[in-house]
Structures are given as C-alpha cells and as structure tokens.
Amino acid sequence: MTVEGPEAVEWLKSNGHEAALASNRFESTKKAIEFVELLYTAGARRVIVPADSIWDDEEERELGGAYSDTLLIQIEQGEVPTALLEIYIQEATLEGYDLRKEAPPIVEEQYLVLWWD
C-alpha cells in the first residue's frame, strides 16, 4: 500500500459520488467527511486516501466520481492519541478485528490503516 494520495476531506468534498468512501460503512459522502473530521479532532495529523485504493473507472464515474474503501491516518511517529485509538479500535471491531489486547498495526511507524470490507 502506498502512503501517497490526496488529503481525505479535500478529496471527499471535490468528489461527486454519493458515497465516495466505504459505502458499506458510510451511507453518504457527507457522513464520510464528518468521520474524517472526527479523526482530526481526535488527533490525526493528516488523513489520506491512498492512491492505490482509489477506483476511478467508468462505473464509478457514472456514480459521480471516484471511490475508495481505505484511509491512512498519519500520527506522530509511533504515538497514537487515546481518542484516536478508541475510534480506531471501534472501527476495527466493526470489521471483525479484536484489538483490545494488542497494539494496532502502524505502517512505516506513522500511519494507521482503516479499511472497510
């Protein structure tokens, strides 16, 4: 997975897709924007839509824009703020992962990955 990609709020706001991010989790792009803003409030340094997770094919364009099911949450190197960790664990639990007894996986020592199936 690449750590390159657009900032999530900007990408979502410029996207005409009705549900541009994880439509099985967020019923609308508006709800996804609210979630990303919550991540910032909880201590994310930056939230990225990884470039290699963006589908921008004809089917998605017919729906109004590109689509992704993944976010990268940039944190201070190795430090996950408590409020952000709580959100991350909640989302992981919704996806069937139990992170209550282990540390979340951190990519390149500064990114948490959220992926909705």
The closest of 86, 91, 99, 104 to 42, measured between CA atoms, is 86
d(CA 14, CA 63): 14
> What pLDDT tens digit does each residue of the chain (117 aa) get?
788 999 999 999 999 999 999 999 999 999 999 999 999 999 999 999 999 999 999 989 899 999 999 999 999 887 899 999 999 999 988 888 877 777 778 888 899 999 997
